[in-house]
């Protein structure tokens, strides 16, 4: 990475600052923009600067997670100023290296993005894998807090054995829970058994008995009223799938089942680690692309 | 236990209610007293009754955890009424089976206690072992919540390898932390290594590097200012030792180290499980004594 | 599976008998052929019969693992009789369901195979996953036996994080070894770290220090003389990759490094479990195909 | 340990040589005696010398494990010469530091032992703890070799939750077995459950179902014919208790149950680690005694 000297971080929450810190600690210059509300915390980067200046001074610019909350402006929770995602904005980045989540969305906001080198860091496999960790920890924190018994010895169901399911099942097992994991594919079921958990076919969840805690990781309506009536009447349900989630919340409410729809856990639970993961992923890409 | 029909629960928090529930679900009659503030929750036991009546109707009476908070009255957080621990109170229990924590303290409050059969359930080994679980889970919940990174991959020190240290180290390891455990005895150090943790002699803590999170389980001042300056300047310290704890909190504050003195975690984290442990321990004693 | 009544097992070792046993215990008729040398053990199946008769009586026929050792005859270690894989043999199976390993090889031995329904059970993902278990256990048995220290506390390298690497690393960790796993892809390295092991990039193995035991699972020459000189001079090397393996055995010998090329471990270590896996996989296929 | 320069190792097997090697690698002089049959292997210590000379040149002398096999002579499997444990032998050690197993037995062989400082290294807690590791690994090696299925997924019973039971249960669990552990005390049963195993009261073993593999660690007849008939008819039984063991071998034979009485596993499975444990324990004593 001999051609790169300065990074610019525009917008975002504490994760972006943690990423900034991690980049700085490797000896690079880091400029930040969009942090007016927490000036003290960014004084180590020379304070927050106007975004135009930040782009100008930086070889690489990093956008926040999520990119935008209103589909119009950049996500800058620590600033009152609004930065519109439009052609004028796009023009600033000609010839720059840009790292962002939701690349598809970004490049539609201006033709000038074609003249920048834009990389999506969020859809990288290692980013997704690493992000499963703070998500799983956040889920475990909720479970300890909300469930009146101990995880140890409790009967837990994790639906889905993707990245989050895999990490979460391991941690629950490490806490001493009796872990059931549901999946559809035969080889997933084999891996579940090898992980030391009880495998359950999705279609057979209804026959797997009552659970103390259910963690949903599948973005499809697996936990419908019918199934909940059989396995969840005394459960705590924690839904980790993104909107609209995989739980029939209305029926759950009617049945008196406690549910938590837990979103964006990485940023809440572990901004420091999340920022380090962002930095790590971006550096992996920079190395692969031989900058 | 053919000679026992009815249990009386006087005072205490949600743990006592969970114990009551667990006893009831084995087919025994349970009377409760001292729960005026949460009448609805005790309706399944026929409502809360005056303690004199409760004693009269019960073969076995169970006292709360802790027994008393002011050393004068029984600990009844869900009641406005004060029940004094005096001779008059003691007299009620003649010929009864009584289970309590802190037996030594109780029997000093009246000579009539000599005419009751009083058992201490708190100092039973299996009670202490089981209670380590909600304590450890509570500590982990605090750590996930307060530490800005993930436990996974973090460098954790657990001081002491007693019951809590042993359970906590296992759970931290199950969460993917790098776990160091300090102890004094050579065989403890051997067990620590066999558990998969890095053993550290108490006297060598100062040379073991910086930690992200430190859990103190030893009721002695291990973490003094000198040691903290070497290993804890960027740490979160969670003290699980009972008052006054094992951390020099003043120095920590001066050094800007974040500390949490976490007390009574079982009742807070997992009242249901804690109540079940109380019930289990009392039933073990009843069986051993062949009632 | 209402259309199936009888299974025929022709040739193979103890695994096939275990498969036969597992099928029988689900209520199906099982005929076996090619077991003249161990007549007593197959008496529960009505004894060994000529293979023509076996085919005739069976709806489903199962071939051995491996299919053939000489590329001319069926692999029948428990029989003196040779069964040639030719057109005449193929003709017997017209209209039958046949399960075999190495389907490509089989169907080339006669045109009549086109008139049978031939399924390859060996290349099924769940078969491969499950087979990793006896392979890993076999490797651990060799390691305990041949290494003069204990696995517990030893420094182990597993090259590759495919199915065998993943299962083996977990078991080694469960035995208390310090486990390093090498891989090439960034997301594999992330998973390795999440598994609790130290990740090593393939290209960086040479800098990862000396190991007590090295398990190779990659079918490519990773452990060349150059690398072995740096990390393996005092190691035990166990090669689990199929012929020709991933170790420069000649150099190892010259350097005095102890090597074991361990092949076909499932059949040797755990014929019973291996047979059950074969049965399970075949039944999965039968269900999916709705026989 | 500034007063000690030279160690003498007299008799014993490969463990003693490993201990010699470990001591030498810390910079001490080591003399060995009683290794005529493997002269090459002891050339690094200046060859094997007469035991009288060895004692003379050494400040500390270490005796083999076991001390004697015939209760008359020192245990010297690598020598044809017999060294009698008598008054004449004892006299050699006046004023010396001597480390041995079975101190009680040794000091009875001569009054002169009163003039030596004799320490028993075998009954030290950390030695016993560490020795449980090679014993457990040896047991697992036997189980993988002798059991026709995989440990992974098998139903295992470990009787007793002492040092060996505790280490063995952890390793079996790490291999993916379903582990049951039997014990008598309530707090042991609590620890067993916390370890992630299914606790079984000794008196309730008979009702705990059939097992694939049973490991006995209790030196009392727990597995009698009556119990074996209920839980062990298809089991492999590995007895780790010292003579006469805890299994009714005759009944087992009559019932066709495969049994292995596995003795002295540390020396067989892991002489190197066993020797290092001996050295470590002796050095711990020397430090505590401030030599």
Residues of C with CB under 8 A from a CB of D: 14, 18, 133-134, 137-138, 140-141, 144-145, 147-153, 170-171, 173-176, 269-273, 276
Q: What pLDDT is recorded for position D76?
A: 96
Q: Is the pLDDT of residue C243 over 80?
A: no
Secondary structure (3-state) at D57: helix
Report the DSSP beta bridge partners of residue D237. D214, D259
Residue D8: its pLDDT value, please? 97
E strands within A102-177?
117-120, 155-159
Cis peptide before D260 (omega within 30 of 0): no
Cβ A174 vs Cβ B140: under 8 Å: no
Can you read off the two tokens belonging to residue A155? 């009967």
- A30 forms beta bridges with A7
**pLDDT tens figures, A228-257:** 999 999 999 999 998 788 899 999 999 999
Residue B57's pLDDT is 95
Q: Which residues of D touch C (CB under 8 A)?
A: 14, 18, 133-134, 137-138, 140-141, 144-145, 147-153, 170-171, 173-176, 269-273, 276
pLDDT of residue D127: 93
Mean pLDDT, residues B188-200: 96
Average pLDDT over residues D3-28: 95
Chain A residue numbers touching D177 (CB-CB < 8 A): none
Tokens of B146: 């307060």
CB count within 10 Å of CB B250 equals 9
Residue B61 confidence (pLDDT): 97
Q: Which tens digit of pLDDT belongs to each residue from A3-51?
A: 899 999 999 999 999 999 999 999 999 999 999 999 999 999 999 999 9
By CA distance, what is D187's nearest residue in B?
B126
Round to whole Å and give the CA distance between C26 and C20.
10
Cβ A134 vs Cβ A273: under 8 Å: yes
Give the Cα separation of A245 and C9 in Å (integer).
Answer: 48
Please tell me which of the candidates A176, A193, A194 has its beta carbon nearest to residue D194: A176
Residue count (chain B): 291
Per-residue confidence at D158, pLDDT binned at 50, 70, 90? very high
**Residue D133 · residue C176 · CB < 8 Å:** yes
| Residue from C238, C239, C243 nearest C212 by CA | C238
Distance in Å, alpha carbon of D170 to nearest chain B alpha carbon: 9
A71: left (phi over 0), alpha (psi -120 to 50) or beta: left
pLDDT above 70 coverage of chain B, percent:
100
The per-residue DSSP string of B47-114 comes to SB--HHHHHHH-SEEE--SSS-SSSSB---TT-SS--B-SHHHHHTTTT-EEEES-HHHHHTT-GGGG
In this complex, the residue of D130, D185, D187 whose CB is nearest that of residue B190 is D130
pLDDT tens digits, D210-245: 999 999 999 999 999 999 999 999 999 999 998 788
Q: What is the ipTM of this complex?
A: 0.90
C-beta atoms of B144 and A140 within 8 A: yes
Sign of CA dihedral A133, A138, A139, A145: positive
Is it the case that residue C55 has pLDDT exceeding 80? yes
> Cβ of D133 and C176 within 8 Å?
yes
Cα–Cα distance, D214 to C286 (Å, whole number): 36
Query: Is the confidence at residue B243, as pLDDT, over 80?
Result: no
Q: What is the pLDDT of residue C6?
A: 96
- The mean predicted confidence, pLDDT, of chain C is 94
Length of chain D: 291
Angle, helices B125-146 vs D186-194, to 10°: value is: 20
Local structure of residue A124 (DSSP, 8 states): -
State whether D153 and A196 contact (CB < 8 Å).
no
**Cα torsion B51, B56, B62, B63: sign:** positive
Nearest to D133 among B132, B167, B194 (CB): B194
Peptide bond into B244 cis (omega under 30): yes
The helix/strand count (H/E) of chain B reads as 11, 11
Rg (CA), chain C: 22
Mean pLDDT, rounded, for A167-178: 97
Interchain pair A152, B133: CB under 8 A:
yes
pLDDT of A273 strictly over 90:
yes
Write down how long chain A is. Answer: 291
- Selecting from B130, B132, B190 the residue whose C-beta is nearest the C-beta of D129 gives B190
Structure confidence by residue, pLDDT tens digits, B78-127? 999 999 999 999 999 999 999 999 999 999 999 999 999 999 999 999 99
- What is the reported pLDDT for C213? 98
- In which band, very low, low, confident or very high, does the pLDDT at C245 lie, cut at 50, 70 and 90? confident
Residue B221 has which token pair? 């001042």
- Residue D30, pLDDT > 80, answer yes
| Chain C residue whose CA is closest to A170 | C195
Which element (helix H / strand E) includes A125?
Answer: helix A125-146
Rounded average pLDDT over B190-204: 95
Q: Which residue in B126, B133, B187 is closest to D129 by CB distance?
A: B187
Write down the residue that tokens 């349970």 correspond to: B30
- In chain C, the percentage of residues whose pLDDT exceeds 70 is 100
Subunits next to B (3 or more Cβ pairs <8 Å) are A, C, D
| Dihedrals phi, psi of A48, to nearest 5 degrees | -80, 140
pLDDT value at C188 more than 80: yes
Mean pLDDT rounded to a whole number for chain D: 94
Tokens representing A2 are: 């001999």
Tokens at residue A264, please?
Answer: 């964006």
pLDDT in tens, C94-136: 999 999 999 999 999 999 999 999 999 999 999 999 999 999 9
For residues B166 and C216, what is the distance between their CA atoms, to the nearest angstrom?
35
| Mean pLDDT for chain B overall | 94
Tokens of D24: 């030498």
Q: Are A36 and A75 in contact (CB under 8 A)?
A: no
pLDDT value of residue D2: 76
pLDDT above 90 covers a percentage of chain A that reads 93
Write out pLDDT tens, residues B125-144: 999 999 999 999 999 999 99
Question: Over the stretch A107-120, which tens digit does the pLDDT of each residue have?
Answer: 999 999 999 999 99
């Amino acid at each position: 990475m001999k051609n790169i000297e300065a990074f610019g971080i525009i917008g975002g929450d504490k994760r972006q600052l943690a990423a900034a810190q991690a980049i700085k600690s490797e000896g690079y210059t880091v400029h930040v923009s969009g942090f007016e509300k927490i000036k003290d915390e960014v004084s180590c980067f020379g304070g927050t600067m106007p975004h135009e200046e930040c782009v100008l001074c930086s070889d690489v610019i990093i956008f926040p997670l999520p990119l935008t909350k209103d589909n119009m402006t950049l996500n800058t929770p620590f600033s009152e100023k609004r930065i519109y995602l439009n052609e004028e904005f796009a023009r600033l980045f000609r010839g720059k290296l840009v790292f962002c989540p939701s690349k598809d969305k970004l490049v539609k906001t201006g033709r000038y993005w074609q003249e920048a080198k834009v990389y999506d860091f969020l859809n990288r496999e290692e980013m997704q894998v690493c992000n499963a960790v703070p998500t799983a920890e956040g889920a475990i924190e909720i479970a300890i807090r909300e469930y009146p018994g101990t995880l140890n010895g409790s009967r837990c169901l994790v639906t889905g054995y993707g990245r989050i399911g895999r990490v979460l099942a391991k941690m629950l097992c490490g806490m001493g829970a009796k872990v059931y994991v549901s999946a559809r594919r035969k080889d997933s079921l084999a891996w579940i058994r090898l992980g030391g958990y009880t495998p359950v076919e999705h279609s057979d969840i209804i026959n797997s008995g009552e659970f103390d805690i259910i963690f949903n990781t599948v973005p499809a309506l697996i936990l419908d009223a019918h199934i909940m009536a059989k396995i969840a009447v005394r459960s705590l349900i924690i839904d980790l799938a993104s909107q609209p989630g995989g739980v029939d919340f209305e029926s759950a409410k009617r049945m008196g089942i406690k549910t938590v729809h837990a979103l964006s856990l990485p940023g809440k639970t572990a901004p420091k680690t999340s920022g380090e993961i962002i930095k790590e992923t971006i550096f992996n890409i920079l190395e692969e692309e031989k900058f």
